[in-house]
Amino acid sequence: MLLDQYAFGSLSRRIRKTFSATFRRESEVKYKEHISRTISRNSVGIYIHFPFCKSLCPACPYVRDTSEEGMVRAYFSALKEEIKMVGKALNGLDLKIVDIHAGGGTPSLVDKEWGEIIQTIREHFDVQSCRFGIEANPDDLTEDRAFLLRECGVDEISIGVQSFFKPNLKMLGRRHGVEESLEAIERCRDADFKLINIDMMYMLPNQTVDSWIHDLKLALELVPDQITYYPLLVPHYTPFYRLIRDGRVPEQPGMEEFKRMYYATIQTLTECGYSPLRYYSFGRKGEEYSTVELEMVGPLLGFGCGAISFTGGYEYINTCFVKEYVKALKNGKLPIAGGRVVVKEERAVRYVAERLSALKLRIQDFEKEFEEPFETLMKRSGYSAALRMGLLFGSFKKEGGEIKVTRKGMWQRNLGGWAFVLSIPCRIVEEYTKTPWPLEVRIP
């Protein structure tokens, strides 16, 4: 089996139909008008993309590039300029930044530069009570860097462990070892981060249910605040797909093993005192690593090469080419490669999908957000049938004014969530990494 865009059958086809879209290149005046006019609420998140890595993992589907000191410096200068330009364009809207998240790439390659970025954000946005989370590679987290990141204002850290088995790490092209993961987690604990998340990966070639659960239990012995578990996804534009296609790496376990791994994961995490946060993450504190929900519902402002933003009514992506990104901002231009208007009906579907990913939808919250009855808007959006089927077949249950996801429903959400990632965000990245400034991109 291969977890690519064809692995989920009719589910993927429905997602592609629901979220089909056309991104278009427009003038800078139009971009600014769309962004300022469609911000859906005052509480805004920020995502910062740092594309640089010491080495490129063959399975990574994200926008990334190998690090070069001179280009990294130029990139941070451009990043500050973009924050300044967008802040100026949105001045007067009384926006409050509630969440900042840096991903990549490998944001943990640098430290003090993040303090400068936070300062730039504070100069151009209203930042009050705000979390700042960063994704990190274990071998970057020396004792000095862990403390420097904390001193720069990083509150939360997500450590990309992926596995505690050396053969798995080697197959995935990860540059860290098992000991480095153990040391990194301990150093982050010593540095007193408010939340430590560990990323783990399953559905690896040659992996069994037992070997995966053994790996997961090794992570649990470290008692992180949160554990996020991802299946290995294999978009066709990644080198890992070619390795499997050419027979240099075995195929992944089958769908039945996928299901058994998933349910065994839920059981193991529950037995160890963790509670579900989403269909792919469990936590000890009830708190969640930053910015997750805003990716789907907005408003989320994305800064950096390849960053995707969603205001609530407009979605746009920056150019995925580092040199073009830097060049545009050096010339005083926004680095937006394309955008599209998102109608109310689609945003409502995104909202429901996101809330059900977090396992509970409050109908009152929905109606407050959209100022329209839930049933009316769901019917108009074409999503009411899916909700009815979920209730009928036991994936959801209705309690009072809430729709909750059942244990069976978590597995269904797991399938739907990863089918969405492969069909939509991965396709956006695939198309926008072909050329820096396309006039039009159709998804899927």
- Alpha-carbon distances, residue 256 vs 104, 206, 253, 261, 263 (angstroms): 32, 14, 8, 9, 11
Fill in the amino acid letter for 286. G
User: What pLDDT shows up at residue 67?
Assistant: 84
User: What pLDDT shows up at residue 292?
Assistant: 65
- Four-CA torsion 407, 354, 58, 205, nearest 10 degrees: 10
User: What pLDDT shows up at residue 129?
Assistant: 82
> CATH fold of 22-296, please?
pyruvate-formate lyase- activating enzyme (3.80.30)
The pLDDT tens digits of the residues spanning 285-306 come to 888 887 667 889 999 999 999 9
The pLDDT tens digits of the residues spanning 18-38 come to 999 999 999 999 999 999 999
Rg of the chain, C-alpha, whole Å? 21
Q: What are the mean pLDDT values of the chain's consecutive 10-residue runs (444 residues total)?
A: 95 94 98 96 96 94 91 98 98 94 96 97 93 96 96 96 97 95 97 97 98 98 97 97 95 98 99 97 88 85 98 98 98 98 97 96 97 98 95 97 98 97 97 98 96
pTM of the model: 0.97
User: What pLDDT shows up at residue 69?
Assistant: 86
Burial state string for 44-64 with b = 16 or more CB within 10 A and e = fewer than 16:
bbbbbbbbbbeeebbbbbbbb
Let me know: does 425 contact 5? Beta carbons within 8 Å. Answer: no
Fill in the amino acid letter for 163. S
